[in-house]
Amino acid sequence: MAAERPTVWLKPGREKSLLRRHPWIFSGAIQRVDGEPEAGATVEIVASSGDFLGRGAYSPTSQIRARVWTFEAHEAVDAAFLRRRLARAVDSRRRLALLDPHAACRLVFSESDGLPGLIVDRYGEFLVCQFLSAGAEAWAATIVELLGEICAPRGIYERSEGGARHKEGLSSRRRLLAGEQPPAELEIAAGGVRLVVDVANGQKTGAYLDQQHNRERVAGHAGDGDVLDAFSYTGGFAIASLLAGARRATLVDSSADALQVAERETAANGVLGRCRFVVANVFDELRAMRDGDTRFDLVVLDPPKFVHSADQVAAGSRGYKDINMLGLALVRPGGVLATFSCSGHVDAALFQKIVAGAAVDAGRTAQILERLSQPPDHPVATEFPEADYLKGLILRVH
């Protein structure tokens, strides 16, 4: 007789979120655990009545003690299961016409693609994976093999880093997983724009693919004006704006490495001569510009995540307000501010309120022209609203 699978018993009443197919089980919802599941092991999750709720990956050190792979009692968690989920994710991008062999897109977006803790970004012929949960980590070798079969990439690289992994009791790792090492400067054609991506050393998996769409939307407002790309990373917003007709762009980022790649990326796009690169803290640099007389026709603010947990919302909101006051002050009358937040804990309504407050305090009148969010290769599963993190406003500023 097969050994009984380790089982996570929930406290009475704590099955509600699972019945709505939310995939996280917090430690506080658990009554007891039968068996001694290791990190990443598949466990049965049952209600206090003993009714089956789901089958998921156990994570002994995380507050999110288990993440559900499947809510179907008859569905085993094995290589065939992972193949179905991966194939479904890739097929969704195919239907979105995102699989151009020279372009880049997110192939797998974690919980939203039914694969909690797994991110896969595709840069042309190369894939970059992040295994960010104990469950994804436990299946990493199988996932790499399956990605090889489904996508036939030239190489698969790993960038499993950051806070999420630490919470899961995992250390950071970056290495080649299969095939060829990606070149240090991978050139990707994304629509009319060329991306230069350093998969091994860049931030995240090398680029911010979640802004590909929005760069075009914002560039549509550049006219022939002067652009400030604040928190530029490699200058995606500046490049799109210059290609759309902007006269000049100033890129500000605290990372000298990012601005070095930005020099190569702007050169690849033929706009290097119209760019100025400033390695600085955006808060300091924008304050200095405000106190001087430097002004722009288009200001882009795309800061990193200020809010990482619910208890940081107040402090983070002040950060967003400060940076938006500075950004608004730098817009010439009649110009445009494009402002973003990638903090999931700051929802679109709160973000709009913060920007409204910043306009009042900056003494400027602003109108929302467009609302932006994340692109379709970063989908939001309806049962997992936590995936909805990116929001942006394009404003006319008088």
Catalytic residue ranges = 342
Q: What is the rounded distance in angstroms from the CA atom of residue 36 to the CA atom of residue 167?
A: 20
Q: What is the rounded distance in angstroms from the CA atom of residue 311 to the CA atom of residue 366?
A: 29
Based on the shown chain and the rule CB under 6 A, indicate whether residue 240 belongs to the binding site for ligand SAH.
no
Beginning with the edge strand found earlier in the chain, give each strand of the sheet holding 24-26 in spatial order.
24-26, 64-70, 52-58, 42-46, 7-10, 30-34
Based on the shown chain and the rule CB under 6 A, indicate whether residue 320 belongs to the binding site for ligand SAH.
no
Distance of closest approach, residue 192 Cβ to ligand SAH, in angstroms: 16
Size of the site for ligand SAH (CB under 6 A): 18
Based on the shown chain and the rule CB under 6 A, indicate whether residue 281 belongs to the binding site for ligand SAH.
yes
Based on the shown chain and the rule CB under 6 A, indicate whether residue 253 belongs to the binding site for ligand SAH.
yes
Among 237, 296, 384, 389, binds ligand SAH (CB under 6 A): 237
Among 158, 302, 377, 388, binds ligand SAH (CB under 6 A): 302
Q: What is the CA radius of gyration of the chain?
A: 23
Give the residues across from 126 on adjacent strands: 123, 155
Alpha helices in the chain (DSSP H): 16-19, 79-95, 134-138, 140-151, 163-167, 212-219, 236-243, 256-268, 282-291, 313-329, 348-362
Place of tokens 């049962």: 383
Helix (H/G/I), strand (E/B), else coil: 189? strand
Among 211, 266, 269, 339, binds ligand SAH (CB under 6 A): 211
Q: What is the rounded distance in angstroms from the CA atom of residue 193 to the CA atom of residue 191?
A: 5
Q: Are 99 and 60 in contact (CB under 8 A)?
A: no
Distance of closest approach, residue 342 Cβ to ligand SAH, in angstroms: 8
Among 231, 277, 306, 389, binds ligand SAH (CB under 6 A): 231
The contacts of residue 157 (CB under 8 Å, 6+ apart) are 126, 127, 128, 129, 174, 175, 176, 177, 181, 182, 199, 200
Of 23-31, 40-48, 279-287, 362-370: span binding ligand SAH (CB under 6 A)? 279-287
Of 46-54, 160-168, 230-238, 331-339: span binding ligand SAH (CB under 6 A)? 230-238
- Residues 258-277: x where in contact with ligand SAH by CB under 6 A, - otherwise, as a string: x-------------------
Among 7, 92, 142, 255, binds ligand SAH (CB under 6 A): 255
If one counts every other C-beta atom within 10 angstroms of the C-beta of residue 115, the result is 24
Based on the shown chain and the rule CB under 6 A, indicate whether residue 254 belongs to the binding site for ligand SAH.
yes
Of 35-43, 253-261, 288-296, 350-358: span binding ligand SAH (CB under 6 A)? 253-261
Q: Which residues bind ligand SAH (CB under 6 A)?
A: 203, 208, 211, 231-234, 236-237, 253-255, 258, 281-283, 302, 304
